[in-house]
Amino acid sequence: MNNMNSMNLTPKQLRIFNFVRQFRRANSYSPTLQEIADELDVSKVTVFEHVEALVEKGALKRNANKARSLSECEGAVPADEEAGLSFPLLGRIAAGMPIERCAQDEKLRLEEIFGRTTARRGEMFALQVEGESMRDEGILDGDYVIVERRSTARSGERVVALLPNGETTLKSYYRERNGMIRLQPANPEFEPILVQDCTIQGVVIGVLRRY
């Protein structure tokens, strides 16, 4: 079994490998070079060069005369799956009143909660929820939210937002017509937070709960 780290893959090559693997699992066929380029926001030529390197290193295989033929080589396993999938646990996030940011040198290991699973794309981290302001969207006190690190968000997405006073909160993001930003709770007992500006630190892509 080939560990991806032992193959000396660059971060972008590892991301391409994982994307191809996950795309095939989700769709039962391989992505095109253009679809990979769109995912990574790079040129098709750049993707081609990385794919060639992945083929040479024994991570991917393909049939040059067949469309959508990219696939992982047998026995090639991403390092995160071999070691046990985990995310850095950066602290706790308020789903109520904002709280001060905190950082902890811990990891949230998913295999300890649910067993082995598949990582999603992009850099991710975990936060433990405190409070009930997102209750009606199924995010409860004590849950863990898995967050994809992003600096922008679409209207309605649940975000980790850094407020101008240095506090963070977990809310749904909306930009009002007057330019204000509304951070909307999902619990009628809480008022929305209205600010002129805030820093998006990430978008929630999943919720974990231990029973």
Q: Which residues are catalytic?
A: 133, 171
Pair 159, 200: CB distance under 8 Å: yes
∠ CA 38-75-71, rounded to 5°: 30
Percent composition of the chain: helix, strand, coil (DSSP 3-state, to 5): 25, 30, 45
Q: Rounded to an integer, what is the distance from CA 2 to the centroid of its chain?
A: 25
C-alpha to C-alpha distance for 8 and 6, rounded to whole angstroms? 5
Pair 141, 43: CB distance under 8 Å: no
